[in-house]
Amino acid sequence: MLIAEPLQRAIDELSKLPSIGRKTALRLALYLLKSEKADVELFVKSLIELKEKIKFCSICSNITVDEICDVCKSRKRDRSIICIVEEASDIIAIERTNEYNGLYHVLGGVLSPLSGKDADSLNIHKLIERVENSEVKEILVALNPDTEGETTTLYLAKLLKPFGIRISRIARGLPIGGDLEFADEATIGRAVLGRVDL
């Protein structure tokens, strides 16, 4: 079947998005085709604005519209602790908890020689600068508990040790409200090893 060229182009572009296949792309394109022109213009405008207005914070690389992000700007935040995360999306996850009131630092990846990620390609220099030039007393490493995340955590711990500040990592264990019997063995095993005194 021959598809009109503008439609085909829209399908091709949409299917470049993550987790969008050809069929979903077709459905989305047809939906947009049926929508009001004003709505589609609004949609397109929001995407362009996203690209034009969003910047990365010059201090922590968080997503922001200004030079410096809201977290780094805020006077209410605790400036003595920095939480290291892999991506800006992790900040959103931690912020939703309302449990953390310190600052952040986005690494932009983890060490992975196989995919060509080494320490130089991570946002580490700026982190060192921040630790050197501020009143930071603690670094909290919050990376994924997989091989690459673990290794990066170990690497950062070594790197930051000479500064004589507290270096911590997020705990690993069981999900809240979870049933012990339904958790997988490895998670329970880790939780047992990382038990805490009462």
Partner 1 sequence: MTIDFIELENFRLHKKTKLKFSKELNYIVGGNGQGKTTILEGIYYLCTTKSLNQSSDIEAVNFDSNFFEVKGKFSDLTTNTARVYYDTEVNKKSIFIDDKQIYRASAVIGKFPVVTLTQSDHAITLGAPSERRKFVDSVISQSSETYLKILLEYNKTLRQRSSLLTQIKEANSKNLFDQLEAWTENLIKNGTEIVKHRLSFISDFNDYLKTAYENIMGEIENPEIEYSFLGECAAGNIENVFEEEIKKRREEELRRATNVVGPHRDDFEFIVNDYSLKKYGSQGQHKTFQIALRFGEFFFLNDKIGRKPVFLMDDIYGELDLFRAGKISDYLGKIGQAFITMTDFTKYDNLKKTENDLLINVKNGIAENA
Q: Name which of 14 and 143 has its Cβ closer to partner 1.
A: 143
Q: What is the DSSP string of 107-173?
A: -SS--BGGGTB-GGGSTTHHHHHHHHTS---EEEE---SSHHHHHHHHHHHHHHGGGT-EEEE----
Tell me the three-class secondary structure of 27-80, residue by residue: HHHHHHHHCCHHHHHHHHHHHHHHHHHCEECCCCCCEECCCCCHHHHCCCCCCC
Q: How far is the CB of 177 from partner 1 (least distance, A)?
A: 22
β partners of residue 83: 104, 140
Smallest distance from partner 1 to CB 92, Å: 27
Minimum distance between the CB of residue 88 and partner 1, rounded to whole angstroms? Answer: 24
Q: Judged by CB, which is closer to partner 1: 57, or 156?
A: 156
Cα Rg of the chain (Å, integer): 22
Closer of 25 and 111 to partner 1 (Cβ)? 111
Nearer to partner 1 among residue 91 and residue 141 (C-beta): 141
Measured from the CB of residue 111, what is the shortest distance to partner 1 in angstroms?
6
- Residue tagged 């987790």 (tokens): 19
| Diameter of the chain measured on Cα atoms | 69
Q: How far is the CB of 110 from partner 1 (least distance, A)?
A: 10
DSSP 174: P
Please give the residue ranges that form the binding site for partner 1 (CB under 8 A): 111-114, 118-120, 146-148, 150-152, 154-155, 158-159, 184-186, 189
Q: Return the number of the residue (39 or 118) whose C-beta is nearest partner 1.
A: 118
